[in-house]
Chain A
Amino acid sequence: MDIGGILIDALRASIGPVAAAYAVSAIGLNLQFGYTGLLNFGHVGFMLVGAYGMAITVDLGGSLWLGILVGILASVVLGLILGVPTLRLRADYLAIVTISAAEMLRLIVRSSWADPFTSSVFGIQQFAGAFFDLNPFDPGSPYGFGDFAFRGRQLWVMVVAWAIVGLAVLFTALLIKSPWGRIIRAIREDEDAVRSLGKNVFGYKLQSLMIGGALGGIGGMMLAIEQQNVFPNAFLPRVTFFLYVMVILGGAGTILGPVLGAIVFQFLFFFFDGVMVQAQAAGWFGEAIDATDAAQVKLMLVGIGLMALMAFRPQGILGNREEMLVGD
Chain B
Amino acid sequence: MLFLMLAPLTAALAQDEGSAIKGRLEAIDGEERVAVAGVTIVVTQDGTDIGSAVSDEAGEWLVAVPGAGVYQVTLDVTTLPDGIALTDPDATALPEVAVREGQQKTVLFQLGPGAVSTVSSLERFVDLVVLGLKLGAIIAISAIGLSLIYGVTGLVNFAHGEMVALGAVIAFFFHVSVAGPEWPLWIAAIPAILLGAGLGGGQEVLLWRPLRRRGTGLIAMMVISIGLSFALRNLILILFKGEPRSFVDYAVQREVEFLGISTVPKNIVIILASVVILILVGLFLERTKTGTAMRAVADNKDLAESSGIDVNRVILTTWLVGGGLAAIGGIFLGVSEQLQFDMGFKLLLLIFAAVVLGGLGSAYGAMVGGFIVGLVVEVSTFWVDVEFKTAVGLGVLIVMLLLRPQGILGSRERIG
**Interface residue ranges, A against B (CB under 8 Å):** 37, 39, 41, 84-86, 88-93, 95-97, 99-101, 103-104, 107-108, 111-113, 121-123, 229, 231-234, 237-238, 241, 244, 248, 289-293, 296-297, 299-307, 310-311, 314, 325-328
Contacts and interface: CB of A to CB of B under 8 A. Distances in A.
Nearest to A309: B227
Interface stretch (B113-121, B183-191, B194-202, B386-394): B386-394
A291 B70 CA distance: 11
A39 B353 CA distance: 17
A197 B211 CA distance: 33
Interface string B364-402: 000000000000000000000101101101100110011
Contacts of B401: 85-86, 89, 93, 97
Given A101-B394, A111-B385, A234-B46, A303 B229 contact: yes
A292 to B, nearest CB: 5
A184 to B, nearest CB: 15
A39 B222 contact: yes
A90 B414 contact: yes
Given A113-B385, A241-B230, A300-B235, A39 B49 contact: no
Contact of B224 (A103, A293, A310): A310
B116 to A, nearest CB: 16
B93 A121 contact: yes
Given A107-B391, A229-B47, A325-B217, 11 more contacts: A85-B401, A88-B416, A92-B150, A99-B349, A99-B352, A121-B74, A303-B230, A304-B231, A307-B227, A314-B220, A328-B218
8 contacts: A89-B415, A95-B158, A108-B388, A112-B385, A112-B387, A234-B47, A300-B230, A328-B219
A292 B98 contact: yes
Given A92-B360, A104-B394, A121 B47 contact: yes
A88 B158 CA distance: 21
B15 interface: no
Contacts of B352: 96, 99-100
A96 B158 CA distance: 9
A233 B47 contact: yes
Contacts of A92: 150, 156, 218, 222, 360
Given A244-B223, A303-B234, A231 B47 contact: yes
Category for how many chain B residues contact A: 35 or more
Q: Which of B48, B218, B223 has the most CB of A within 10 A?
A: B223
B387 A231 contact: no
A302 B410 CA distance: 36
Contacts of B398: 85, 97
A122 B387 contact: no
Contact of A100 (B150, B360, B394): B394
Nearest to A38: B219
Nearest to B233: A303
Given A113-B387, A307-B227, A326-B220, A100 B349 contact: yes
Contacts of B391: 104, 107-108
A320 to B, nearest CB: 16
Contacts of A123: 47
A84 B158 CA distance: 22
A302 to B, nearest CB: 7
A328 B229 CA distance: 21
B353 A100 contact: yes
Interface string B150-172: 10000010100000000000000
B68 interface: yes
Nearest to A300: B234
B158 A99 contact: yes
Contacts of A299: 230, 234
A164 B199 CA distance: 45
Contacts of A289: 238
Interface in B119-176: 150, 156, 158
B413 to A, nearest CB: 10
A311 B398 CA distance: 32
Contacts of A328: 217-220
A201 to B, nearest CB: 11
Nearest to A85: B401
Contacts of A302: 230-231
A303 B227 contact: yes
Contacts of B218: 91-92, 328
Contacts of B416: 88-90
B85 to A, nearest CB: 15
A123 to B, nearest CB: 4
A206 to B, nearest CB: 14
